[in-house]
């Protein structure tokens, strides 16, 4: 059974049934058309319930505070499921337990759906809190020393981002030509400061700060734990990791899916997001740079990024 946190109470039996579903809506009885003379060409009622899944925190808040009201004004019923990991949301989407998920960047989606043979498609970008290097026991970049400890997310995609960040800072050196989306410990060519990288579940990174010198924390977990983006000592400059909302490929052209996409692209959502999520990286089509990112000054003084990192932008 999939482990998830919902905004409503569900019995275990209902969850099991939901996960076994294929995402299709049952056909509604044909409307009586004799009086109007209409032809009953279609007996499928238009889909009016949309189930959105996100990780806990900012993406869920976007649904509750903006997207849900926008869609409800169009007559939809919107339910939100908040997941506590990066695996379940794609499985739940593929199995039909939810209709849309919002939690991942494209490199992760591409890798996950290829590995698990899932027919999912990225549909729209969402404002995303960037990955950042935050103070732990050390409070400044120049406090790094021989043997400093840095906690980092342990899933391959985000760990690769962490390595690229450490490379940009000059704390490690990656091998020439390494794929920045797939970098691993084996790709570290030099580690002059003997940096000790402590891998752990992304959700545990905020709490790790008391035990390590620095922590590389995913933006959503930083926000949900009460951290401020402006506390970051450095933020990744790449826009390759602005997150996407995903749908089943077969649903992409449906009316309800287009309404979801349009809600996330609407001026109403954009205005809300710019006010509510300052310091985030925004969808590329908005043409708005992240603001309030304290990492910008650090970026200017950090060593130039490796050519591999530049290729990921």
Contact 99, 251 (CB under 8 A): yes
Q: Could you give the 3-state DSSP secondary structure of residue 250? A: helix
Q: Is the pLDDT higher at 1 or at 142?
A: 142
Q: Rg of the Cα trace of the chain?
A: 22
Given 3.40.50.150, 3.40.1350.10, 3.30.465.10, 3.40.190.10, which CATH number is that of 5-23+46-129+241-286? Answer: 3.40.190.10
Q: Is the pLDDT higher at 35 or at 58?
A: 58
Q: Give the domain 132-238+292-310 fold.
A: D-Maltodextrin-Binding Protein; domain 2 (3.40.190)
Q: If you average pLDDT over residues 47-64, what whole number do you get?
A: 95
Q: Which two tokens stand for residue 259?
A: 């309404």
Q: Facing residues of 127 across strands?
A: none
Residue with tokens 């869920």: 60
Contacts 24+ apart (CB under 8 A), 65-69: 65/272, 65/276, 66/268, 66/269, 66/272, 66/273, 67/260, 67/263, 67/264, 67/269
CATH 3.40.190.10 domain range(s) in the chain = 5-23+46-129+241-286, 132-238+292-310
Look at residue 298 and tell me whether its pLDDT is greater than 90: no
Q: Could you give the 3-state DSSP secondary structure of residue 123? A: strand
- pTM higher than 0.75 for the full model? no
Highest mean pLDDT (candidates 42-46, 53-57, 73-77): 73-77
Task: For 166-223, write each residue's pLDDT tens digit.
Answer: 999 999 999 999 999 899 999 999 999 999 999 999 999 999 999 999 999 998 889 8
Task: For 235-276, write each residue's pLDDT tens digit.
Answer: 988 888 899 999 999 999 999 999 999 999 999 999 999 999
């Amino acid at each position: 059974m999939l482990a998830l946190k919902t905004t409503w109470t569900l019995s275990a039996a209902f969850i099991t049934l939901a996960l076994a579903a294929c995402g299709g809506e049952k056909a509604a009885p044909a409307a009586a058309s004799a009086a109007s003379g209409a032809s009953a060409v279609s007996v499928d009622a238009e889909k009016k319930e949309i189930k959105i899944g996100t990780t806990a925190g900012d993406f869920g808040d976007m649904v509750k505070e903006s997207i849900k009201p926008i869609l409800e004004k169009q007559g939809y019923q919107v339910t939100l499921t908040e997941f506590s990991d990066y695996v379940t949301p794609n499985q739940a989407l593929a199995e039909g337990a939810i209709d849309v998920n919002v939690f991942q960047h494209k490199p992760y989606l591409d890798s996950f759906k290829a590995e698990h043979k899932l027919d999912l498609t990225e549909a729209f970008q969402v404002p995303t809190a960037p990955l950042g290097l935050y103070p732990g026991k050390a409070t400044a970049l120049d406090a790094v020393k021989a043997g400093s400890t840095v906690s980092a997310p342990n899933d391959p995609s985000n760990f690769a981002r962490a390595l690229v960040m450490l490379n940009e800072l000059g704390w490690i050196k990656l091998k020439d030509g390494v794929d920045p989306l797939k970098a691993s410990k084996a790709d570290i060519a030099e580690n002059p400061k003997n940096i000790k990288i402590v891998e752990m579940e992304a959700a545990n990174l905020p709490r790790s700060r008391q035990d390590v010198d620095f922590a590389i924390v995913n933006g959503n977990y930083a926000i949900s734990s009460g951290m401020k983006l402006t506390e970051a000592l450095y933020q990744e400059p790449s826009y390759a990791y602005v997150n996407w909302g995903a749908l089943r490929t077969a649903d992409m052209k449906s009316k309800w899916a287009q309404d979801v996409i349009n809600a996330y692209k609407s001026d109403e959502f954009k205005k809300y997001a710019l006010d509510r999520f300052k310091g985030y990286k925004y969808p590329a089509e908005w043409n708005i740079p992240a603001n309030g990112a304290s990492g910008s000054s650090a970026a200017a003084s950090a060593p130039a990024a490796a050519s591999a990192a530049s290729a990921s932008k």
